[in-house]
Chain A
């Protein structure tokens, strides 16, 4: 049975999603869809993936009660510690699943885009594990601000290609990866890192990340004897939020809150595609995007490279439209403050992306138990934070 939040046969979440790509990619997407359906129905795929999640990723990740942070937030705050997953973020849940699938499909090469570099590192890791060559496209701006991850990817054997076009960030890295894929579609699998892109990607990535929500729900029961009142996650493309939300989708008492990047403020440069965007087609799917009156895609801005994206996964656009989830936003400044507070109160440096979710929680508008997706660790952001605090 298809869960209520899975897309229909055309890959639609309500009016969002679908497949808007060059004809050259249609066969590959059809093949991927069939391979994915087959893998899902095949118990051996599930067992193999579970074993990888146990031994490579180190799952389950803990659900951690942030007691001192809770005092600051005025609510009982539980953190789903994806920052403790191998490579330091939730991205690896998806890349191991996709590269396992690619290997089963007989693909000889994988490519990926990356914003903050976490997805690139996770793809390079999975590619190394399976012995496949890996090319990662990364906006030149991000290559500069996430240098640590560039070095990590290269040490893992991947080739990192800086992309100078457009805003030289995640959006442009995806364009370049799609161009590579159009040219090499027959032997290459494109490992998309978020719940974006043409069908079936948004569904594949969300399904592979649902392990976060399923674990968190069971762990919350164990820890508190019940469900959280709110589940909060940051949203760029929205993969960690989709994975977390899917675990609680049917629990109507649980409020789902996505937190977008308000950047310099919602009237300035930002990455809040749901809060401020309009329906559009970007990277192969219909969703909410930041664009001008002629349909030119805007340059987004966020201090966190992972949220610096002018679009969002169609599942989130749909969850917002149906009202099942609510979307808030936090500015660069609020995220920096939350980053600092979590370090001081809990001894945890979060990535700047989930720092946005923490910033929302720190507003004190939440009551009861709040479960926050701590999607990644902050080592990669230390230089950015240091220069922002100095500035």
Chain B
């Protein structure tokens, strides 16, 4: 069992819904990021750290522009790992990165660097299960949990083969579309979670389009928890990390209700 899964299972078996916020490395700025990560981690079960990328095609405007801003300040995908390692927290960190930076430095090398920087898992949104075998083995060698995404368009057969690769949790994409706030939780969230449940015993977290405490609670009725991204990034950018943590605390309260 990966360290990430062990950590999440401990919380889950205590009846706790999982809260995984997402931050873009390098925001609000280079100096402020490690502190922002610590602040957010204090109210999280794990933190997803987005490595800035030039062509983030699964991301909506909030995260895409945050990513562009981080790159302009000199934070690239590899230096982001290093920057994140300077934060002091026991909360597990999961790296979210597009595939090209991994391909560029080499799969084993990327996993080595990520593990050395204290990461416990990776999420790669643009590599399908058919292409990920070698990366998954490299990740396993460094005790990096593999967190695959399942989409509303995934057939039952695909869900089964994707779920079988998960060693951290399963990321259930709640809606068709890129990251960003929606006015309501997609009605497609529950069926995706059910399909993941049918295929695996691992924790299932709903992400993409979860942007309010109410949506988080609604999603966690069937799921084991939520990933919240754009809403957190927007809070950090507009009102600072403390405000983001306060807002996350309200999500925590909703999950516990």
Contact = CB atoms under 8 A, between A and B. Distances in A.
Interface of A: 10, 18-28, 165-166, 171-172, 175, 178-179, 182-186, 278-284, 286, 289, 291-297
A22 B155 contact: no
A295 B113 CA distance: 15
Contacts of A18: 131
Interface residues on B, range: 35 or more
A286 to B, nearest CB: 7
B99 A26 contact: no
A225 to B, nearest CB: 48
Interface of B: 53-58, 60, 64-65, 68, 71, 76-79, 99-105, 125-131, 148-155, 158, 162, 173, 176-178
Contact of A297 (B54, B79, B162, B177): B54
A295 B103 contact: yes
Contact of B103 (A25, A183, A279): A279
Contact of B131 (A19, A166, A296): A19
A295 B77 contact: yes
B254 to A, nearest CB: 26
Contacts of B54: 166, 296-297
A282 B104 CA distance: 11
A293 B100 CA distance: 11
Given A19-B131, A183-B176, A294 B104 contact: yes
Of A20, A21, A27, A278, chain B has the most CB atoms within 10 Å of the CB of A20
A20 B64 contact: no
Given A279-B103, A281-B100, A166 B128 contact: no
B76 A182 contact: no
A19 B128 contact: yes
B65 to A, nearest CB: 8
A24 B173 contact: yes
Contacts of B154: 23, 26-27
B53 A296 contact: yes
Contacts of A171: 55
B128 A282 contact: no
B105 A295 contact: yes
Contacts of A292: 76
A171 B149 CA distance: 25
25 contacts: A20-B127, A21-B126, A22-B57, A22-B58, A23-B129, A23-B148, A23-B158, A23-B173, A26-B154, A27-B155, A165-B65, A166-B68, A179-B177, A182-B57, A182-B178, A183-B176, A279-B103, A283-B57, A291-B104, A292-B76, A293-B105, A294-B78, A294-B79, A296-B54, A296-B101
B153 A179 contact: no
